[in-house]
Amino acid sequence: MAQNDEENPVIDVFDRAILKELSREGRLSWRELGLRVGLGPTATADRVRRLERLKVISGYRAKIDYGSLGIGLRAITELRLSSQANYKLFEATLYDTPEVQAMYHVTGDVDYIILIACKDVPALDRLLNSWRDKGGAIESSTRIVLREVELFD
């Protein structure tokens, strides 16, 4: 017995092209998106709605120009917490920190990888020190982001 499309999504070349275009620019009209992937507006809309229904597309986000907000520095920080640290409390702290753009609890030598956007190096230093002082971070390694490389260019 064949599974229906809802249980076993099949992603074809058109769906992949749609995902690529929407990841670049999520506010395209059905017409413009269809032109870019070689489909008509109705077929494009049907495919996008199907991908949303299947949760392949889980949402849309705005691309932010951090410089226009006075945010001059982006960094990726790896953190290791002490064995006594409260992970749930630390995650709540990260969640409530506006400079945290993304956070990942990972396997390996570190516990978290965190993407940070802040004003400058002193602001980054204050943030990292606060995690050491209050959050139980015992080791960190930080890399400054020089530029973002677009994934689908």
Cβ(99)–Cβ(42) below 8 Å = no
- Rounded to two decimals, what is the model's pTM? 0.71
- Residue carrying the six token digits 């409260």: 86
Which residues, 6 or more positions from 138, have their beta carbon under 8 angstroms from its beta carbon? 80, 81, 82, 132
Residue 136 vs residues 18, 89, 142: alpha-carbon distances, Å: 43, 10, 17
CATH number 3.30.70.920 given to 66-144: yes
* Fold of domain 1-62: Arc Repressor Mutant, subunit A (1.10.10)
pLDDT, averaged per 10 consecutive residues of the chain (153 residues), comes to: 54 93 91 96 96 92 85 95 92 92 96 96 95 90 90 59
Lookup: tokens for 117: 């956007």
